[in-house]
A and B are shown apart, each in its own frame.
Chain A
Amino acid sequence: MRAFNAELSKLFSLPGIWLAFLIGAIAPAVIAALDSIAEKEEIIAGVSTRLSEVGYIGLVLGVQGVIILGVLAVSSEYLTESSESGGGQQITTSLTVVSSRLHFLLAKAGAVTVISILLCIVAIMTTVSATHLVLGEYAPAFEWQRLIGAICYWTFTALLALGITLLTKNGIIPLAVLMINSSVVSFSVLLYRVTKLAVYLPDRAGAEMFMFTSDTFTGSLFVRYNTPFTGGLVMLAWVVVIFIAAAIVFHRRDVAA
């Protein structure tokens, strides 16, 4: 519990985290509002094919906030100080304060999980408000099952970011790959064109928890493949596998290596 408090304290005192909060809390609402404005006429006319996606699209992109959170939680430990100050890293302090590496890791994952859940709840509130503000009575009803799906999606994504960064010890590669993947080009969507197995990639499977509904009609790419529950389980399995791999590597690795 002490280690968990320490991890929370570390995260909240890191300025970069506020960028994560800003993106996580505000971006989904902005995107949802823009999307609602664009779709408004069709929705009012009752001919929109994207009614079920309105709002949720913001939550898909807002996941970038927790990607920053997960990456930063680990990369800040390995950021090397300038050579004139001795080239130290915070990880040496962290591991001389908590003697068990597993405890350290669980505390970190716990802190990231809690912040991700809270951030996603804030994002849902801003997004739902923004959609209602723009669409008024035409705003789609948000189903709580799908919203819980979104919270799971955010949390699992943050933990994936944390696990991957623990393996690379450097934030730049995971940050670039994960952010591009969740905003510009989704590798799993591209891969889906090659093999249907791509639906089992973590982001695609995880999105099933809240993005695709049975009445989704946006061409072959976004056709529902798994049930939300199966999608969630597939993504969770990815999280567990990456986390175990990262824990084993972290446990064996010398700090000086």
Chain B
Amino acid sequence: MLTINNLVKHRGNQEILSGISFKARPGRVTGFLGPNGAGKSSTLRILLGLDRATSGSALINGKPFAELHNPLATVGAALDGFGAHRMRTGRAHLRWIARAAGLSNSRVEEVLEIVGLTNAAGKRVGKYSLGMGRRLGMAAALLGDPKILILDEPVNGLDPEGIRWIRTFLRERAQSGNTVLLSSHLMGELAETVDDVVIIKHGTIVADGTLEEVIGNHSTLEEAFFTLTSEIAGAVV
């Protein structure tokens, strides 16, 4: 369970998040949607202890990230980019992460197999395509077999096959009782994957509910998203 409670983030004199609250529940895929710059990545970074909140809390199973004992076994995360040094091979990257969590090298081979990177594992990360890099990020997130996954724009840059793979994979994770929180600005790709939807705009939550609730009277999620996120802009114009 992920609990975001009245989270506020200021950077300089800019307000990135103005007191947002929502939950991501076990057994559900929660889609965290919003236009670029709405505050999605900032929220995820605070949740993972990478950035500090100005006020409010972001808890993982009721605890802040910094209090988790073996974070990799609790929460797997894949944020922007590959999160790997370009001169290292994919396998070497996963191996140091495995060391940090006390996992064996055979677990590294397992996750390479899961994400379909076994053949490219000996290549330097700098030579990876965007899709391969995202798969590497997923492999790192899965290493500790965590009950919670936090993914920032997981389908960005993936080819249709990759998108399909990630959809099926995340659905399976949720069905076996895991919590999945993913952010995206791509609506079409997500409608078939998520159970719950949280929509953020300018650091404020504008919709929060099940997929059906958020779609409401609109024909598609995309329709609902544009109506919800362009209301204020529409009023100004």
Q: Name A's B-contacting residues (CB within 8 A).
A: 2-3, 5-10, 13-16, 76, 79, 81-82, 84-90, 92-93, 95-100, 252, 254-257
Contacts and interface: CB of A to CB of B under 8 A. Distances in A.
A100 B67 CA distance: 8
Contact of B83 (A3, A93, A252, A256): A93
B52 A254 contact: yes
A256 B86 contact: no
Categorize the interface residue count of chain B.
Answer: 35 or more
Contact of B82 (A9, A85, A95, A255): A85
Contacts of B67: 99
A255 B99 contact: no
Contacts of A15: 87
Contacts of A97: 71-72, 97, 100-101
Contacts of A82: 86
A247 to B, nearest CB: 15
Given A88-B79, A88-B83, A254-B50, A2 B71 contact: no
A6 B130 contact: no
Contact of B88 (A14, A95, A96, A98): A14
Given A96-B71, A97-B71, A256-B45, A6 B99 contact: yes
B106 to A, nearest CB: 16
Given A97-B100, A99-B67, A100-B66, A89 B45 contact: no
B96 to A, nearest CB: 4
Interface of B: 11, 41-42, 45, 48-52, 65-69, 71-72, 75, 77, 79-89, 92-93, 95-97, 99-102, 128, 130, 133, 140, 156-157
A86 B133 contact: yes
Nearest to B46: A254
A96 B75 CA distance: 9
B77 A96 contact: yes
A207 B170 CA distance: 58
A85 B83 CA distance: 10
A110 B15 CA distance: 39
A196 B190 CA distance: 68
Contact of B51 (A10, A86, A93, A254): A254
B83 A14 contact: no
Task: Tell me which of A9, A15, A16 has the highest count of chain B C-beta atoms within 10 A of its own C-beta.
Answer: A9
Nearest to A79: B85
Given A13-B92, A79-B86, A84-B130, A2 B100 contact: yes
Contacts of B66: 99-100
B83 A90 contact: yes
A86 to B, nearest CB: 3
B105 to A, nearest CB: 10
25 contacts: A6-B96, A7-B96, A9-B96, A9-B99, A10-B96, A13-B88, A13-B89, A13-B92, A14-B87, A14-B88, A79-B85, A79-B86, A88-B83, A92-B83, A95-B50, A96-B49, A96-B65, A97-B101, A98-B71, A99-B68, A99-B71, A254-B11, A254-B52, A256-B42, A257-B11
